[in-house]
Structure 1
Amino acid sequence: MKEFNALVVDPVGLHARPATVAVNAASKFKSEIKLSYKGRSVNMKSIMGVMSLGIPTQSEITISAEGEDAEAAVQTIEEVLKTQKVIA
């Protein structure tokens, strides 16, 4: 299993536009990918799941992946969230 922790720095938190981009990126991988926040985990490939967490700014999140392409999945999602300026 591969994972990384990040701090959400977007003033609005993890909102719909960057969440959609991240979900689309996650959906390209075969691995099971999870987004965790405050003890809750959701499928990173589900926009409804991601949005249900209501992640505000200055929140610690964890992205984890398990499967054959887990490392590439985690790296890609981290890059996408940085490009969208959601995490630092």
Structure 2
Amino acid sequence: MEDTDTTATRSVRIGSEHGLHARPAKLFTQAVGGSGAKVTIAKGDGKPVNAASILAVIALGIDHGDEVTVSVDGDDAAAVLDRLVDLLLTDHDS
């Protein structure tokens, strides 16, 4: 069987009005955990953190409009990245 692991990376601006606080961060990290892929997220030019860790994600202090870079390593990385970017673009505070 052929190895189908791939890497996909994209930068996106946060859509939630109050940033990635507890509720949107929980939705995001749950989606990461359910994806089965290795995912990192970085704020601006900062160091990437494990996107499956709610504490690591909240510790980044990501506010509305901040640019983050999400990288996905694993099977179907582009599709996983599309789903995660959709979550980040959505305003979960309205």
Say whether the 8 Å CA contact 1:29–1:69 is kept in structure 2. Answer: no
Gapped runs of 5+ residues in structure 1?
none
**Bigger Cα displacement from structure 2, 29-38 vs 41-50:** 29-38
From 22, 25, 28, the equivalent of 1:19 is 25
| 1:33 CA displacement | 0.3
Say whether the 8 Å CA contact 2:15–2:89 is kept in structure 1. Answer: no
RMSD of Structure 2 on Structure 1 (CA):
1.6
CA separation of 1:51 and 1:82: change in aligned 2, threshold 3 A: same
CA separation of 1:49 and 1:19: change in aligned 2, threshold 3 A: same
Determine the C-alpha separation between the residues in 1 that align with 2:16 and 2:87: 13
| 1:12 CA displacement | 1.6
Q: If the length of structure 1 is used for normalisation, what is the TM-score?
A: 0.83
Say whether the 8 Å CA contact 1:30–1:69 is kept in structure 2. Answer: no
| 1:3 CA displacement | 1.5
Q: Count matched residues.
A: 85
Q: If the length of structure 2 is used for normalisation, what is the TM-score?
A: 0.79
Larger radius of gyration: 2
Helix, strand or coil: the match of 2:75?
A: coil
Determine the C-alpha separation between the residues in 1 that align with 2:14 and 2:88: 9
Between the aligned residues of both structures, percent identity stands at 31
| 1:80 CA displacement | 2.2
CA separation of 1:79 and 1:9: change in aligned 2, threshold 3 A: closer
Determine the C-alpha separation between the residues in 2 that align with 1:79 and 1:57: 15
The residue correspondences of 1:1-88 to structure 2 (distance < 5 A) are 1-38=7-44, 39-83=46-90, 85=91
